[in-house]
Structure 1
């Protein structure tokens, strides 16, 4: 049974509006960033009043925190849905492919990597910190397993590989290829995955 099957009509409408607010916030953050985004921007894009927006989220910080939490939940769910039969490297590649596709659709703002203020704000959000630690631990184990299997360079510190992997999710090459090349999204994703796991050799 879906979550909506357990909610009243009023609660369903509230949840759907909240999802729309988070979708709008994601898009605005991806284009304008945290500092330039306003609550008015979000309310206007959704077509609701600002007081209605504040019924869902008490502040801009609360709204952005919820947006990033939803993104972390989606990444964790994506990773946990992968078949157990996949190798560790294949799981890392599948998650990166998902992230790149979400990003090409404008659904993956990279706030922590672009703003010290946002990093500090998110570090005060205990739910966010807990989910980051959990996902990081899962990915670190996959990196180590892939190194033991010989699929990733065992001579490199696992931290170097892990943070290089994170960097691929916010590589500006993706935007340049999307804007200035004639490649389709599938080709961009395929080439970025190859660069990540096979290098430029």
Structure 2
């Protein structure tokens, strides 16, 4: 039974509108960034009044925090959906593939890497911090396991591998390839995964 089947019509409409708000927020963040985004931008994109928007989120900071939490929840859900027989490296690869595809669709803004102010804002959001800690712990364990299995280099620190992995999800090469190469999205993702796990040899 889905969560929506347990809600009355009014609650369902409220939840659907909230999802639409978060979709719009993610799109605007990916295109304009946090500093240039306004609550008016979000309201205008989905065709609601700003007072209606404030019924869902009381500030831009709350709105952006909710969008980032939903993104982290999506990553965690993906990680938990992979087949049980996937190796640690296969899980890392599959999650990076998901992140790259979400990014190419304009749904993966990398706010924490954009400014100190944005990082500090998100770090004050305890729900966001909790999600980050959980996902980071899961990925760190996968890196360590993949090293033990001989699928990732044991000569590198697990921290180096983990943060290099994070960097691949926001690598500007993805945007350059999307804009200036003749590669389609599948080929971009395929090559970015190859660079991440096999290097340039």
TM-score, normalised with respect to structure 1: 0.99
**Structure 1 stretches of 4+ moved >6 Å:** none
Within 5 Å, give how 1:30-41 maps onto structure 2. Answer: 30-41=30-41
C-alpha displacement of 1:127: 0.6
Residue in structure 2 matched with residue 102 of structure 1 by the alignment: 102
C-alpha displacement of 1:84: 1.4
Residue in structure 2 matched with residue 10 of structure 1 by the alignment: 10
For 1:114 and 1:59, the matched residues in 2 are separated by: 20
Residue in structure 2 matched with residue 112 of structure 1 by the alignment: 112
1:105-148 C-alpha deviation (Å, 9 max, x unpaired): 00000000111111000100111111100100000000000001
RMSD: 0.4
For 2:114 and 2:195, the matched residues in 1 are separated by: 23
1:15-41 C-alpha deviation (Å, 9 max, x unpaired): 000000000000000000000000000
**3-state SS in 2 of match to 1:152:** coil
Determine whether 1:58 maps to 2:58: yes
Segments of structure 1 that go 5 or more residues without pairing to the other structure are none
Residue in structure 1 matched with residue 85 of structure 2 by the alignment: 85
For 2:183 and 2:3, the matched residues in 1 are separated by: 39
Residue in structure 1 matched with residue 185 of structure 2 by the alignment: 185
C-alpha displacement of 1:162: 0.1
C-alpha displacement of 1:78: 0.2
For 1:188 and 1:14, the matched residues in 2 are separated by: 37
* Matched pairs, number: 201
Residue in structure 1 matched with residue 48 of structure 2 by the alignment: 48
